[in-house]
Amino acid sequence: MKRFRALGKTIFSSHPMNLLLGSLLAMVISMTGLAAHAAGGELSKEDQACLSCHDKADQVKKLENGEVLSLSISTKAYVESMHNGTSCEDCHSNIEAKTHSKEKKSIASKRDFSLSMRETCRDCHKKKFTQYDDSVHAALIKAGSKKAPLCSDCHNPHTVLSAKIISPIADTPCAKCHEDIFKAYAKDVHGLERVAKGKSAPLCANCHQAHDVKAASLGSGVKDACISCHKNASELHKDWLPNTDRHFEAISCPACHAPDAQRRVNLRLYDGVEKHQVSEKTGVPQFDRLTVAADAKNMGLDEMALLSLLKEFNRDGAGGKTVLRGRLEVRSGVEAHQLSEKSKALKDCNVCHQAGATPFQSVTLTIAGPDGRPLRHGVQAGVLTSIASVDSVRGFYAIGSTRIKLLDILLVLVVVGALGVPIGHMTVKRLFKGVREKLEAERLAAAQGAGKTAPMAQRRHGDEASK
Ligand code: HEC
Ligand code: HEC
Ligand code: HEC
Ligand code: HEC
Ligand code: HEC
Ligand code: HEC
Ligand code: HEC
Ligand code: HEC
Ligand code: HEC
């Protein structure tokens, strides 16, 4: 039909009167098309022939693994689907209409059958296919997953309707595989809003994409999606949250907006030069080997283990390229989908900014695995407040009494260092560099205008004096 409409436009495009005629012609053509399709009579002879056998209930084929493949295709649903303009042969060119019913082709399993058909969509939907090829789901399939979705897991090719139609949220294809997350989402602020008001509130694909789905914690894709709808989020938080941008960077949105969630600190391996998370996409996997070696007793990495691990990652002349970047996040995927209305969001500074704050008692180290999903290893909570890890965790600890105490200790050490006493295996210079960098960052942050950094400023003077 589209083609006909385009044809009408090209023939009559030069004059307004002709344009009108053109659209009239297009309308007539498309209406006859519609009528024919609606009756099912206009399906090609070949298609009708296929359906004469396949539009029967209870048509099945037993597969080698014992599964039963339904062979029934509803003519009615097909004619009403977005694919009513394509013919069976477009996608089933390998089927010999006359003979295949007697051939008894052997098919190992439903999954095998789907995999054998997976390339069919590529010709007509190149763009979606390319996006999908780059997704976590496609990576999982390449790695042999039997559960990750192909196009046909999310779209039945014989019944597919327009994506513009608003269906009940439970019909989203994501729900059948991510059931627990769907249940949480359905009860959270967006799920409820979606049911009440329709499309303005997000469904899975609005935050994660439908085709180019990436691991949720990788990069800033999901956060960018939040901000694409909540455009003034940063402004609205600035009223009460100093250094809003720093907080948005260091805390995932659900960590404050899922009020009942448990939280943790995630130390991500980060490429400080290329500015992205380190991943194991290329080369020999190192993460599991190195973390297990560094944590023989499986008690969680301590600060020295973390330091030597970083050194390993910076071998081969990488020179400090790999750093750690802390982020406060919720502990489980389900909790990321329990967002509440704003009045329940976390506003109390003390939940994070006091000595021994709960969210800082659970710490993990992650690298992005080959498909982008994080590989994890436990880290001892003491690492965040340990002097030895100032360099590696770049001061990712809450301000408040913890930080001030730590800075006090550092100052003492710097003075001691000046007397020439080496501390552990770290040189004073190194320690000092950590402090300098940290304070520099603080100076910058303070220069950006926000609140409570006055005590830091005093200490900075102290440091400079001892240089
Ligand atoms: C005479 C009835 C008949 C007609 C006509 C027919 N089919 Fe079939 N079809 C069958 C039967 C029976 C099977 C199961 C064959 C088996 O056990 O391997 C089947 C299997 C299939 C399968 C399952 C997978 C496979 O590769 O075997 C597909 C797909 C299929 N048909 C598509 C079509 C298409 C497309 C047409 C029209 C071009 C068509 N059929 C015409 C009877 C028919
Ligand atoms: C847009 C592409 C497309 C069109 C058009 C199409 N099919 Fe299919 N068909 C597929 C794909 C892909 C599969 C495999 C589905 C899966 O992975 O389970 C399939 C599977 C089948 C099967 C096996 C049973 C099943 O549902 O998996 C039959 C039978 C079949 N098609 C018949 C037909 C007939 C008859 C027509 C025309 C009326 C038709 N198909 C039109 C793509 C198409
Ligand atoms: C022969 C070409 C052809 C093939 C092959 C094909 N499609 Fe389509 N598809 C179309 C056309 C034409 C439409 C109608 C709407 C349009 O122009 O996008 C459509 C529409 C769709 C839509 C609905 C789009 C919307 O606007 O909401 C989906 C989803 C879809 N196809 C999925 C698939 C999948 C999955 C496969 C592979 C199993 C596939 N298609 C294979 C031609 C094709
Ligand atoms: C994980 C589920 C999932 C997979 C896999 C998937 N899709 Fe989709 N697709 C969706 C959802 C959800 C929508 C509607 C929402 C949207 O477009 O954001 C959609 C929309 C579409 C549309 C209509 C888009 C539009 O904007 O009009 C087409 C065409 C399509 N998909 C084709 C494909 C093809 C081809 C593949 C395989 C390469 C594929 N899809 C794989 C979930 C999926
Ligand atoms: C309002 C945006 C939003 C919506 C809607 C949404 N998600 Fe998420 N999703 C997130 C956020 C945020 C995370 C956590 C990302 C992070 O770690 O920073 C996440 C994480 C995930 C994860 C990874 C979980 C894990 O174990 O780490 C999956 C899988 C997921 N979502 C699937 C879904 C599905 C399926 C739906 C629909 C039922 C959905 N999401 C709806 C925002 C959303
Ligand atoms: C056919 C089953 C299936 C469907 C349908 C499906 N997924 Fe997945 N998805 C998986 C599997 C399996 C994994 C890997 C295991 C895991 O991480 O949960 C995965 C992983 C993911 C991840 C990465 C998890 C992480 O740790 O970051 C995200 C995000 C995701 N899916 C989102 C979606 C969205 C959004 C949809 C719908 C548009 C969807 N999925 C539909 C099976 C599916
Ligand atoms: C430190 C905790 C915290 C973080 C991090 C945070 N928020 Fe908030 N947010 C709040 C609190 C508390 C409120 C309620 C403020 C009020 O009522 O004055 C709020 C309000 C909101 C509102 C409602 C604004 C309005 O006034 O209508 C939106 C939308 C929102 N946040 C989105 C986000 C997004 C998106 C992110 C991540 C980029 C995020 N928030 C990160 C604590 C946080
Ligand atoms: C597709 C657009 C869209 C996306 C994407 C989106 N939201 Fe929303 N969000 C809405 C709508 C619509 C509402 C309900 C109306 C309102 O209160 O603004 C809402 C409500 C909220 C509320 C409750 C506000 C209140 O007034 O109580 C919070 C908090 C929130 N969203 C946070 C987020 C976070 C965090 C993300 C990303 C993980 C996100 N949103 C992604 C559209 C979106
Ligand atoms: C959910 C936990 C959380 C809450 C709630 C929170 N913060 Fe933060 N805050 C952090 C984290 C994490 C950082 C980043 C620390 C780092 O990078 O060392 C931070 C950084 C800061 C900084 C900047 C320090 C620097 O190094 O630049 C200031 C100032 C600050 N917070 C003040 C506040 C105030 C005031 C409130 C209450 C209105 C508040 N925060 C609420 C976790 C939180």
Nearest CA to ligand 3 atom 25: 162
Q: Give ligand 2 pocket residues (Cβ under 6 A).
A: 47, 50-51, 54, 69-71, 73, 78, 83, 86, 88, 90-92, 114, 117, 120, 152, 157-158
Atom of ligand 8 nearest to the CA of 345: 29
User: What's the rounded Cα separation, in Å, for the pair 404 and 420?
Assistant: 25
Nearest CA to ligand 4 atom 27: 163
376-to-168, 220, 268 alpha-carbon distances in Å: 36, 19, 9
Do the beta carbons of residue 423 and residue 466 sit within 8 Å? no
User: What's the rounded Cα separation, in Å, for the pair 437 and 26?
Assistant: 68
Q: Does residue 467 register a pLDDT over 50? A: no
Rounded to the nearest 5 degrees, what angle is found at the Cα of 333, between the Cα atoms of 331 and 336?
80
- Please state the rounded mean pLDDT for residues 255-260: 97
Query: Which pTM was predicted?
Result: 0.88
| Ligand 5 geometric centre to CA of 255 (Å) | 13
Provide the pLDDT confidence category of residue 155 given band limits of 50, 70 and 90.
very high
107-146 pLDDT, tens digit each = 999 999 999 999 999 999 999 999 999 999 999 999 999 9
Provide the pLDDT confidence category of residue 384 given band limits of 50, 70 and 90.
confident
Nearest CA to ligand 8 atom 17: 341
Q: What pLDDT, on a 0 to 100 scale, did the predictor assign at position 455?
A: 29
> Above pLDDT 70, what percent of the chain?
73
Q: What pLDDT, on a 0 to 100 scale, did the predictor assign at position 442?
A: 57
- Please state the rounded mean pLDDT for residues 207-218: 97
Q: What pLDDT, on a 0 to 100 scale, did the predictor assign at position 445?
A: 59
21-52 pLDDT, tens digit each = 444 444 443 444 343 344 444 799 999 999 99
Q: Does residue 158 register a pLDDT over 90? A: yes
Do the beta carbons of residue 358 and residue 351 sit within 8 Å? yes
Q: Does residue 194 register a pLDDT over 80? A: yes
| Ligand 2 geometric centre to CA of 88 (Å) | 7
* Mean pLDDT rounded to a whole number for the chain: 81
Q: Does residue 443 register a pLDDT over 90? A: no
Rounded to 5 degrees, what are φ and ψ at 322?
-90, 120
- Please state the rounded mean pLDDT for residues 434-444: 57
**Is 162's C-beta closer than 6 angstroms to any atom of ligand 3?**
yes
Q: What pLDDT, on a 0 to 100 scale, did the predictor assign at position 224?
A: 96
Residues across the chain: 467
Nearest CA to ligand 9 atom 24: 399
Q: What pLDDT, on a 0 to 100 scale, did the predictor assign at position 67?
A: 97
Q: Is 231 exposed, middle or buried (0-12, 13-18, 19+ CB in 10 A)?
A: exposed
Beta bridge partners of 367: 375
Nearest CA to ligand 9 atom 19: 247
Q: What pLDDT, on a 0 to 100 scale, did the predictor assign at position 441?
A: 63
**Is 174's C-beta closer than 6 angstroms to any atom of ligand 5?**
yes
Atom of ligand 6 nearest to the CA of 217: 27
Question: Which range, 87-91, 409-413, 462-466, has the best average confidence (pLDDT)?
Answer: 87-91
- Please state the rounded mean pLDDT for residues 221-248: 95
Sign of the alpha-carbon dihedral angle for 33, 36, 39, 41:
negative
- Please state the rounded mean pLDDT for residues 368-397: 83
Nearest CA to ligand 3 atom 34: 121
According to DSSP, residue 423 is labeled B
Provide the pLDDT confidence category of residue 281 given band limits of 50, 70 and 90.
confident
Question: Which range, 67-71, 290-294, 422-426, has the best average confidence (pLDDT)?
Answer: 67-71
**80: CB partners within 8 A, 6+ apart:** 159, 161
